[in-house]
Structure 1
Amino acid sequence: MFTQLTPPASEPVSLAVMKAYLRVDIADDDVLISALISAARRFAENHTGRIIAQRDFRIDASTFGDGILPLSPVSSVASVKYLDASKTLQTLTGLDFCPHPLSPQLFSPVAGWPVPTKAWNAVQITCTAGMNPVPEDIQNWIMLRVATAYEQRSAVIDLKTTELGRSFVDGLLDAYCVVTI
């Protein structure tokens, strides 16, 4: 389980860029367009299984899971803590972490894995995840998805985002989808 600790500092497509793409030069719809950008980014994150907008997370797990982080891409690991046998919170030191833009994120302690107590939150990892920079394919997909929702908002307003249907444009995200085996 992971919890978002901070909201994204910025969206992958700025309001100014999106308004220029839509050819909107008034401020009346700024709130709507901003909301559509955020919704498109969240949809893309759910679809791909990757974090797109950079922000901080806390991961709670019952084990170290061989050092495989459930988020991708992770740019930094701030801390790895665990509950020892006496349920005292300890900080794991001497981490070897090498960020990679798309592959599974791995970390390992230099001195070996300690044994945490049995609890759903026995391992607590604080990290920063998100794409930096966001690939152009994803930015283009967001702009196209927002444009569709904005230009057809009266038809879309009663639908859930997942009911918009897959179009050829959605293929722009396919290369970024996490494949689980």
Structure 2
Amino acid sequence: MQIEYHQLTPPASEPLTLEETKAWLKVDHNVEDTLIQLLITTARERCEAITGLSLMIQQWVAYLPYWPMQPQEDWWDGVREGAFAWQIAQGIPLRHGPVRQIDDFTLFDGDGNGSPYPVEYYLLDKARDLLVLKSSAPTPKGERVINPIEITYTTGYGTVPGVIKAGLLKLIAHLYEHRGDEGNRIPKDVLGLWQPFVRVKV
């Protein structure tokens, strides 16, 4: 099953201020403030694309065509006869974490009218960024032809880890020094700093 993830609300701030970035770059004038602010945003977006993280507070939505099923058995020895027994999947991955909270869990009928899935039937596993159904939960079902299930959630760090910020500063300095160059790649030392945080394949 293909789950689609879309950003609803972008971050309202950046992980680095203009002042601390200019201090890192050793820039003591205001002529290039607009450029440096752009580089801060660019570095944050590159980091998020590489790691799969949300560095700052933002809102995402997951669109599901249906609620997935999974085999009741965790393994198969290759000789079993007969059909597998299936059950509803207990967890749905919520990408672009860390996930702070689930804002809405909505099921849409055939006319496009949404109704909330009862909050008492699910919880957020923050350690794994999963929406988890409780054992007593009924199968979430919608009837809308396209994406009948929508899950809206808020992501982002309260405090961005220092290692990530160090990588951002290094990348900004690289982009600043090599602005205008074609094929400008992210330095290996920056990727090395971010590697422990990667949640998606580069």
| Partner residue of 1:138 out of 149, 161, 164 | 164
| Partner residue of 1:124 out of 130, 137, 150 | 150
Judged with a 3 Å threshold, the aligned counterparts in structure 2 of structure 1 residues 165 and 17 are, in CA distance, closer, same or farther, namely closer
For residues 65-111 of structure 1, the C-alpha deviation after alignment (integer angstroms, 9 at most, x for no partner) is: 533223321101111101246754221122312423xx333332563
| Corresponding position: 1:59 with 2:62 | yes
Residue pair 1:71, 1:105 contacting (<8 A) in 2 also: no
Aligned residues: 173
Structure 1 residues without counterparts, runs of 5 or longer: none
Task: Tell me the amino acid that sits aligned with residue 26 of structure 1.
Answer: H
Residue pair 2:171, 2:187 contacting (<8 A) in 1 also: no
Share of identical aligned residues, percent? Answer: 28
Instruction: Give the alignment's TM-score, normalised by structure 1.
Output: 0.83
| Partner residue of 1:96 out of 116, 123, 134 | 123
Deviation, 1:15, is: 1.1
Distance in 2 between residues matched to 1:82 and 1:119, nearest whole Å? 12
Distance in 2 between residues matched to 1:134 and 1:64, nearest whole Å? 33
Question: What root-mean-square deviation, in Å, do the aligned CA atoms of Structure 1 and Structure 2 show?
Answer: 2.2
Which segments of structure 1 move beyond 6 Å, counting only runs of 4 or more? Answer: none
Residue pair 1:73, 1:105 contacting (<8 A) in 2 also: no
Structure with higher helix content: 1
Distance in 1 between residues matched to 2:166 and 2:195, nearest whole Å? 13
Helix, strand or coil: the match of 1:42?
helix
Instruction: Give the alignment's TM-score, normalised by structure 2.
Output: 0.75
Residue pair 2:21, 2:169 contacting (<8 A) in 1 also: yes
Which segment is superposed worse, 82-91 or 143-152? 82-91
Partner of 2:40: 37
